[in-house]
Amino acid sequence: MDHDNRDRNAGSGGSPPGKIPGDTWADGLPKGRRWSGIAWSLLFLLVPVLGTATFVIAPYYDHWLPKDVSVHGKSIDGLFYFILVLTGVVFLATELILFWFMWKYDAAASSKPATYIHGSHTLEVVWTIIPAATMLFLAIYQMNTWADVKMRRPRMAPSVEVVARQFEWRLRYPGRDETLGTEDDLFVVNDLHVPIDEDFLVQLKSMDVLHSFFLPNLRVKQDAVPGMKIPVWFKATETGTYDIVCAEVCGWGHYKMKGRVTVESRADFNRWLARIEAEQKATQRGPEEIPVAAAD
C-alpha cells in the first residue's frame, strides 16, 4: 500500500512522478495484487450478467407479471416494460463501463499513475439534462393511462363497497334496489364476485389502519385510508378466480389478509347474488323471533 500512496501523491503533488530505483509502479507490487484486481473486476461484472439473467429466466419460473385480465392492464404493462427497458439499458451500460474501468485501469496492470482532473462542465450539463428530459417525457407519456385508471371514473353507482380491516376484506353488495346502505344489502367476506366485460366500481374504505387493495391480475392497487371513501374501477376480460391481497403492512396478520375475486358471466354473477341473498335471509331472524329480555 505504501507504493500506491507514494506514487499517487507524486502524481497529484505537482512534482513529476519520481521513479524510485528498483521500485516501479507495477514491479514493486506483490503478485497477488494482480489476481485480486481481476477477481474484483469479474465480481462487478457478475452484477449486470446475473441481473440480466434473472430477468430472462424469471418468466420461465412464473416469477413475472401475473396474467392480465383487465382492460386497462395492457397500457399499464406497456408503461412497465417501457420503463424497464429504459432503466435496463442504463443499468447495463453503467455496470459494463464500471467493469471495464476496473479491468483496464487495474493499478497492478498499469505503469502510469492516476491523472487528476477537475471534471467536465459540459459532461455534467449533459448527464443532468438527459435524465431530466427523460423524466419529463415519462411524466407526460403516462398521463393518459393514469387518467384512465385513477381519474375517468365510470358514471355509475358503486357496484360494491369494500371495507378493509385487520385482517380481512368485508364486502357489501347493494341488494335488489341497487343502492348501498339499505336494508337489502348483501354482506360477504373475502369473496369478491365480478361480472365479466362490465365496468365495476368499488367504493373502498378502511375500518382501522392503512391497507392496500391489490388485485394483481386486474392491475389494480389502491390504498384504503381510514376516514376516506375511495373509488376504484376496472373491467375484467377473462373468467376465473384470482387473488385479492393487501399490499400495505397493516399489522401482525398482514400476510393472511387475502381474499379471492371471481370473474364470471353476468348470469353466473346474478345466480351467485341470489344464493347469497337466500343464505342471508335464512340466517336472519325476523323481528318476532328476537327474544325479549326476561324481566328480573
- Min CB(201)–Cu ion separation in Å: 21
Give the contact letters, 7-46, x = binds to Cu ion (CB under 5 A), - = no: ----------------------------------------
Q: Is 263 in the site for Cu ion (CB under 5 A)?
A: no
Which CB, 214 or 242, lies closer to Cu ion?
214
Contact region with Cu ion (CB under 5 A), list: 57-65, 109-117, 185-193, 211-219: 211-219
Q: Cell numbers 385487520 correspond to what residue?
A: 166
Alpha helices by DSSP H, 105-203: 121-141, 143-146
- The verdict on 250 binding Cu ion (CB under 5 A) reads yes
- Dihedral sign (CA 231, 258, 176, 219): positive
Residue with cell 507504493: 3
Q: Which of 213, 264, 237, 195 is nearest to 68 (CA)?
A: 237
Length of the chain: 296
114 exposure class (CB count in 10 Å sphere: 0-12, 13-18, 19+): middle
All 3 cell numbers of residue 52?
A: 440480466
Give the separation between CA 56 and CA 78, rounded to whole angstroms.
Answer: 18
- CB nearer Cu ion, residue 164 or residue 218: 164
As beta bridge partners, residue 240 has 263
Nearer to Cu ion, 244 or 250 (CB): 250
**Does 257 interact with Cu ion (rule: CB under 5 A)?**
yes
How far, in Å, are 1, 84, 142, 203, 236 from residue 263 at the CA level?
67, 30, 28, 18, 7
Q: Which is nearer to Cu ion, 169 or 234 (CB)?
A: 169
Residue closer to Cu ion (CB basis): 190 or 237: 190
Is residue 211 packed enough to be buried (19+ CB in 10 Å), middle (13-18) or exposed (0-12)? buried
C-beta of 257: minimal distance to Cu ion in Å? 4
Is position 204 an interface residue for Cu ion (rule: CB under 5 A)?
A: no
Only segment of 67-75, 183-191, 196-204, 250-258 that touches Cu ion (CB under 5 A): 250-258
Kindly state the smallest distance separating residue 164's Cβ from Cu ion, in Å: 6
CB of 135 to Cu ion, least distance (A): 32
If one asks whether residue 232 binds Cu ion (CB under 5 A), the answer comes out as no
The β-bridge partners of 246 are 213
Q: Does 211 bind Cu ion (CB under 5 A)?
A: yes
Selected from 246, 263, 273, 276, the binder of Cu ion by CB under 5 A is 246
Contacting residues for 234 by C-beta, under 8 A, at least 6 apart = 70, 71, 72, 200, 215, 218, 219, 220
Shortest distance (Å) from residue 223 CB to Cu ion: 10
Q: How many residues bind Cu ion (CB under 5 A)?
A: 4
Cβ(259)–Cβ(244) under 8 Å?
yes
Q: Does 224 bind Cu ion (CB under 5 A)?
A: no
Q: Do 203 and 160 meet the contact criterion of CB atoms below 8 Å apart?
A: yes
Chain contacts with Cu ion (rule: CB under 5 A): 211, 246, 250, 257
